[in-house]
């Protein structure tokens, strides 16, 4: 089991706070923007700083963005987010996380 899942299952307050704050960041991102890939990749550093850890920030960025739309049964928007990560200028780790998330969520 990965670190994020373990921490969430153990109700790690910091991890819950990171996810909560990440969801706030996602509310300011317009997924209909034609420059979505560029805009979310430009915000990667913000997520990394939020979590005070590069790898954790990348995971939270990817999964919180995708999960936001899955929670509302808007799988098409979740696919748009995945594609934006994969086709954008985000680092390779983020692209891999997006590919994995797409499989994890059957998108």
58-85 residue pLDDT tens? 999 999 999 888 877 788 999 999 999 9
pLDDT at residue 15 is higher than 70: yes
pTM for the full predicted model: 0.85
Give residue 11's pLDDT band: very low, low, confident or very high (50, 70, 90). low
d(CA 87, CA 45): 18
Considering only CA atoms, which of 29, 37, 104 is closest in space to residue 65? 29
Q: Where are the domains of the chain?
A: 3-104
Please count the other Cβ atoms lying within 10 Å of the Cβ belonging to residue 4: 18
pLDDT, average across residues 40-61: 92
């Amino acid at each position: 089991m990965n670190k994020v899942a373990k921490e969430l299952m153990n109700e790690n307050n910091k991890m819950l706070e990171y996810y909560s704050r990440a969801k706030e960041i996602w509310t300011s991102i317009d997924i209909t923007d034609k420059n979505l890939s560029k805009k979310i990749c430009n915000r990667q550093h913000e997520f990394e700083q939020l979590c005070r850890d590069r790898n954790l920030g990348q995971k939270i960025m990817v999964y919180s963005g995708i999960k936001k739309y899955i929670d509302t049964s808007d799988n098409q928007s979740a696919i748009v987010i995945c594609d934006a990560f994969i086709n954008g200028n985000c680092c390779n780790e983020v692209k891999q996380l997006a590919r994995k998330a797409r499989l994890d969520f059957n998108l």
